[in-house]
Structure 1
Amino acid sequence: MMPKTLKNVIKFICFFGIGVLLIWLVTKDLTPEQWDQISAALRKANYWLAIPAVIMGLVSHWLRATRWKLLMKPLGHQPSTLNTFFAVMVGYLANLAVPRLGEVTRCGILAQYEKIPADKLVGTMIAERAVDMLCLLLLIAVTILTQIDVLGAYVHHDIYLPIARKIANANGTQLLLLTAALIVAILALLWLLRRFARSKAAITIKALAKGVMEGILSIGKMENKWSFILQSVLIWGCYLSQVYIGFYCLQETSHLGISAALAVLMIGSIGMIVTPGGIGAYQALVQKALELYGIAYVIGYAFGWIIWVVQTLLVVLVGFLSLVALPILNKKQSAAPARS
């Protein structure tokens, strides 16, 4: 079998390569004048306004740590808030290298320093991620429903009409082949599910799905479930505030309101999932979102880079400090009872 480290290196190269490819695709047709406009926008940006955005980012990470603790309490564990926060930040740092590696990393760190069984931590992490996915879906629904005039027109013209044209231009043979391919794919999937129903992979997937459902349902049984819901809302509120404050960094985006911030947060969150730390994907998607609100291509792209750099530097700096602080903090805590 392939060593785990080698697998992670290959994953990093693949995902990082996708990010670099996206950057190249977005910038390859830029003219020298457009490059000058992007540089000018970045030079004129008011970076002092990035400070409150950084503060909101730190608050969101701290809330994520305290919310995670609420999921551990019913299991009989109450880790220190600092250890939990440091584990969360190191997890974010690991995610910059390989997507989803951070979830495993932060569980391992907390298991090491708080002596909590790793399998229990993985269950709480799955529940937390499931809630975040529900929050993202809710954000998408609210954003589209409240801006049906802007986003609805975009979906209609840029997604629905191109697909409809391709279907309309397809001849009978192409449609027949497509239908046959779909039927074959469905039948093949059903056969695979039946054939490998008892395989290790299938059992793992079923257990994961069951764990997600149990994790979501367990939130309703929590003593502090309203605190959990409130902290989840505040976390996403902090994310939204970061984008909204960021608008004031550039004169060209300072007039944009909460509606545009919701759209950027929605589309940018998807970009963060695609590549490590959202590199390449985040900037391109944010530029596309701002284009819907009349923001020029170069300004939207520059804004995407400003927000991405602020968020990434925060994770890198605090993540490395957390990595250093963990053994120091826990050494002092373990030494204190020994001296007493």
Structure 2
Amino acid sequence: MIKLVIGIIITVACLLAAVWGIDLEQIKESFQRANYWTLPGMFALLYVFFWLKALRWRMLLEPVKNLSVSQVTPAMMIGFMGNNILPAHLGEFLRVYVLSRQFQIPKTTVLSTVVLERLFDIVAILCFLGVGIYFTPNIPEDYRSYSLVTAVVICVAILVVAAYLIWTEAVIGLFRKIFSYLRFLPEKLTHLVLEMMQSGAVGMASMKSKRLSFGIIWTSFAQWAINGLSIFVALWSFDIQVTPLAALVVLGVTAIGVTVPSTPGFFGIIQLCFWVSLQGFGVSKSDVFAASIYYQLSQYIPVTLIGLYFSNREGLKLSQAEREAENELEELEGIDGTEATLPETNG
């Protein structure tokens, strides 16, 4: 209940910040001027995005069980539907439950592939954010000054992930020692990070294959490039004149923003992230707000409907889905009551 209240407060605060200084008439005019013929293209890009995501998940799972893209897609879409309508990012644990039940794969193994997904997502998103900040023409100097920091973070993230992939146990041991000195960090947080790293080690088998490693890397970057293109198309639909590189900045900021606790669907968070990313480009705030709604709904509605379809096909009712996701979360928390969650990325 506390998490729900905090999420509602954050969502309302972000939404108010996103609409501050504009009125309903301005937003209405933005929607009236928009070009909605781009919607089929938005849906096509969304299809490619999730096809790439399913392809990557299949490759991560291949050493454990050789599944097809069509076989992993139902569990994946049920999970993303869960993130859209269930609190606390329970969709991630829901897809672990569904795939494990469908193909008799240990839940810890499925979870490990989801953890690895997040690691590759973080690296890809940071890279695109850095490229967007550095190369976007006419970007404010305040933005460009962050590019060096972003580049350092990217390099560190890549090095950490590479070391984790090569010397898994040694890296986990190092983090355990570091956390022992950082006593100001919440114990639940440090325990969670170590548990996620340990779970991720279970799914490392796919990275021992050069073919799979290459496939996992290129699909990670390709899917977020597609997502960035979707953002650009949404902005273009509302006559917001920015380059695709600026859309990569929006992508990076939004992906970071949705990790903040909020209500399901990330409404309010995404709207504020769009404006924070674009306010230095001299664009209309009402147009940016409207474009963010267009982008979000073009993803939220089809993903939720497709997830509900697969959920119904698998005989999984919403009440049961939430209960099973909560059960998975409780199992992962363990008997010591440590809270578990996964960092979220938009889409």
Shorter chain as normaliser: what TM range? Answer: 0.7 to 0.9
Aligned mate of 2:242, from 256, 259, 266: 256
CA deviation map 1:208-230 (0-9, x unaligned): 23444675685254542222222
Aligned mate of 1:71, from 55, 60, 69: 60
Give 1:14 shift: 2.9
Aligned to 2:134: 145
Aligned residue identity for 2:248: L
Give 1:309 shift: 1.6
Aligned residue identity for 2:258: M
Contact 2:55/2:69, CA 8 A, preserved across alignment: yes
Q: How many residues align?
A: 283
Aligned to 1:176: none
Task: Tell whether 2:14 aligns with 1:22.
Answer: yes
Aligned to 2:93: 104
Aligned to 2:113: 124
Give 1:327 shift: 4.2
Contact 2:128/2:249, CA 8 A, preserved across alignment: no
Contact 2:109/2:199, CA 8 A, preserved across alignment: no
Aligned mate of 1:318, from 306, 319, 335: 306
CA deviation map 1:107-136 (0-9, x unaligned): 100011111111110111111111111112
| Structure 2 SS opposite 1:74 | coil
Q: Distance in 2 between matches of 1:235 and 1:11?
A: 31
| Structure 1 SS opposite 2:303 | helix
| Structure 2 SS opposite 1:120 | helix
- Structure 1 pair 224/108, CA: closer, same or farther in 2 (3 Å)? same
- Structure 1 pair 23/201, CA: closer, same or farther in 2 (3 Å)? closer
CA deviation map 1:234-274 (0-9, x unaligned): 21121022112223312x31x32212211221222223322
Aligned to 1:190: 181
| Structure 2 SS opposite 1:286 | helix
Aligned to 1:181: none
Q: Which runs of 5+ in 1 are unaligned?
A: 1-8, 161-187, 329-340
Task: Tell whether 2:296 aligns with 1:308.
Answer: yes
Aligned mate of 2:77, from 81, 89, 97: 89
- Structure 1 pair 204/291, CA: closer, same or farther in 2 (3 Å)? closer
Pick the structure with more helix per residue: 1
Q: Distance in 2 between matches of 1:290 and 1:201?
A: 32
Using the aligned pairs only, state the percent identity: 22
- Structure 1 pair 19/132, CA: closer, same or farther in 2 (3 Å)? same
| Structure 1 SS opposite 2:314 | helix
- Structure 1 pair 259/206, CA: closer, same or farther in 2 (3 Å)? closer
- Structure 1 pair 99/203, CA: closer, same or farther in 2 (3 Å)? closer
CA deviation map 1:74-133 (0-9, x unaligned): 12x123433411111111111122243121110100011111111110111111111111
Give 1:231 shift: 1.6
CA deviation map 1:12-43 (0-9, x unaligned): 4432332122212333543xxx3211111112
Q: Which runs of 5+ in 2 are unaligned?
A: 150-178, 317-347
TM-score normalised by L of structure 1: 0.73
Aligned mate of 1:291, from 279, 287, 290: 279
Indicate the structure (1 or 2) with the bigger Cα radius of gyration.
1
Contact 1:49/1:248, CA 8 A, preserved across alignment: no
TM-score normalised by L of structure 2: 0.72
Aligned to 1:239: 227
Which has the larger displacement, 314-323 or 18-27? Answer: 18-27
Alignment of 1:260-271 (within 5 A): 260-271=246-257
Aligned mate of 1:54, from 39, 43, 47: 43
Q: Distance in 2 between matches of 1:151 and 1:65?
A: 37
Q: Distance in 1 between matches of 2:105 and 2:53?
A: 18
- Structure 1 pair 94/14, CA: closer, same or farther in 2 (3 Å)? farther
Q: Distance in 1 between matches of 2:265 and 2:193?
A: 26
Task: Tell whether 2:258 aligns with 1:272.
Answer: yes
Aligned residue identity for 1:207: E
